[in-house]
Amino acid sequence: MRLSAQRKEIGNACRRMHRDRLVVGTSGNISVRVDDLVAITPSGTDYETLAAEDVLVVGLDGTVVCGEHLPSSELPMHLAVYAATDARSIVHTHSLFATSVGTVCDELPAVHYAINALGGPVRVAPYATFGSDELAAGVAAALHERTGALMRNHGAITIGPTLAAAYDRAVKLEWLSELYWRAMLLGTPSVLSTDELSAVRDQARRKAYRP
Ligand SMILES: [Zn+2]
């Protein structure tokens, strides 16, 4: 079976995504890229019962290489993001707070320094019908120099060099969105500047340095 380890990893992550309440029903999707192949969740399959063999493998042009199901309806978005970035994994969720913020705001601002994990303030990609090339292009553009984006009236997307990294960012993006929502209930949140965020990056490098 092609990309068998990646397909198994995707199955496990889908079940976790469901347990972590990042998706409801069959919404959301995950992919992993290895060279010119992409393993991606099938369309409309219950994640609780998803088996590794249900995960498809497609080429970078979307041609199905192996798998019996239809690929996720967001395949064009996954392929557009792989074409535009150096991502090796993509996690797309409909998590509640991230989707709420993307419905009201034009950007998730830097309300906490943890936003550095996403490359800085998170853009909101314009609304377009799910599965459309227009949505794919908008999301790919929103991810420029970022590892996460919100999708207007739809959900969230995160990318990473591994599925574990992309998944951690999906959880972080949801946490930051909930933090912003809660802070907004209290008043107007203060926002970290670009200089403050880069000082955090410098400090993280210094603290990680072990002579
Ligand atoms: Zn979606």
Domains annotated for the chain, with CATH where assigned, are 4-208 (3.40.225.10)
% pLDDT > 90, the chain: 86
Is the backbone of residue 144 left (phi > 0), alpha (psi -120 to 50) or beta? beta
Strands (E), 17-162: 29-34, 37-40, 56-59, 64-66, 89-93, 107-108, 122-125, 148-151, 155-160
Helix-helix angle 4-19:163-186, to 10 degrees: 20
Q: What pLDDT sits at residue 210?
A: 61
Q: What is the mean pLDDT of residues 90-117?
A: 97
Amino acid letter at 184? Answer: M
Task: Quote the ligand 1 centre to 26 CA distance (angstroms).
Answer: 9
Question: Which residues are identified as catalytic?
Answer: 74
DSSP 151-185: ETTTEEEEEESSHHHHHHHHHHHHHHHHHHHHHHH
Task: Quote the ligand 1 centre to 58 CA distance (angstroms).
Answer: 19
Q: What pLDDT sits at residue 116?
A: 97
Question: For residues 189 and 180, is the Cβ–Cβ distance under 8 A?
Answer: yes
Task: Quote the ligand 1 centre to 29 CA distance (angstroms).
Answer: 7
Task: Summarize pLDDT for 142-188 with one digit per residue, the tens.
Answer: 999 999 999 999 999 999 999 999 999 999 999 999 999 999 999 99
Task: Quote the ligand 1 centre to 73 CA distance (angstroms).
Answer: 9
Q: Is 101 helix (H, G, I), strand (E, B) or coil?
A: helix
Task: Summarize pLDDT for 48-79 with one digit per residue, the tens.
Answer: 888 999 999 999 999 999 999 999 999 999 99
Beta bridge partners of 57: 39, 66
Task: Quote the ligand 1 centre to 203 CA distance (angstroms).
Answer: 36
What's the chain's Rg over C-alpha atoms? Answer: 17
Task: Quote the ligand 1 centre to 122 CA distance (angstroms).
Answer: 17
Task: Quote the ligand 1 centre to 68 CA distance (angstroms).
Answer: 21
For β-strands 89-93 and 155-160, DSSP reports them as antiparallel
Is the backbone of residue 153 left (phi > 0), alpha (psi -120 to 50) or beta? left
Asked if the model's pLDDT at residue 123 lies above 60, the reply is yes
Burial of 194 (0-12, 13-18, 19+ CB in 10 A): exposed
